[in-house]
C-alpha cells in the first residue's frame, strides 16, 4: 500500500499492511519487523513495533511525534 504525503510517498509492505488491518481488534497490538528502512506512517498510531537491531527485537511505541521517521533513526545498532 502506498500512502501519499504532500511531496513524497510512504511505502508499506503488504505483510505489514495486512497485520495493521487487525489493529482495532486488540488492545495492545504488536508487530515484529526486521526491516529498519521503513517509514512510520499514521496507520501505525498506537501500535507497538518490535524492530530487530541485529541481535534482538527492541519495542517502539508509535505516537504522532514519530511519523515520517525511519526505524533506523530511532533504533541504533551500536551502543
Q: Tell the residue number behind the cell numbers 533504533, with chain if given.
A: 75
pLDDT digits (tens, 9 = 90+) for 9-18: 777 888 888 8
Whether 68 contacts 38, CB under 8 Å: no
Mean residue pLDDT of the chain comes to 82
Rg (CA), the chain: 12
This prediction's pTM: 0.74
What mean pLDDT do residues 48-53 have?
91
| Residue carrying the nine cell digits 533506523 | 72
What pLDDT, on the 0 to 100 scale, is given for residue 50? Answer: 93
Report the pLDDT averaged over residues 58-75.
88
DSSP 8-class letter at 49: E
The distance of Cα 79 from the centroid of its chain, to the nearest Å, equals: 22
Q: For each of the domains in the chain, give its residue range(s) and CATH number, in order of start.
A: 2-74 (3.30.860.10)
Q: Alpha carbon of 29 to those of 5, 45, 74: distances in Å? A: 25, 10, 19
Amino acid at each position: 500500500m502506498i500512502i501519499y504525503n504532500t511531496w513524497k510517498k510512504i511505502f508499506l509492505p503488504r505483510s505489514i499492511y495486512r497485520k495493521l488491518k487487525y489493529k482495532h481488534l486488540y488492545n495492545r497490538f504488536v508487530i515484529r519487523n526486521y526491516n529498519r528502512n521503513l517509514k512510520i506512517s499514521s496507520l501505525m498510531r498506537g501500535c507497538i513495533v518490535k524492530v530487530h537491531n541485529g541481535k534482538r527485537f527492541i519495542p517502539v511505541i508509535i505516537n504522532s511525534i514519530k511519523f515520517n521517521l525511519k526505524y533506523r533513526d530511532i533504533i541504533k545498532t551500536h551502543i
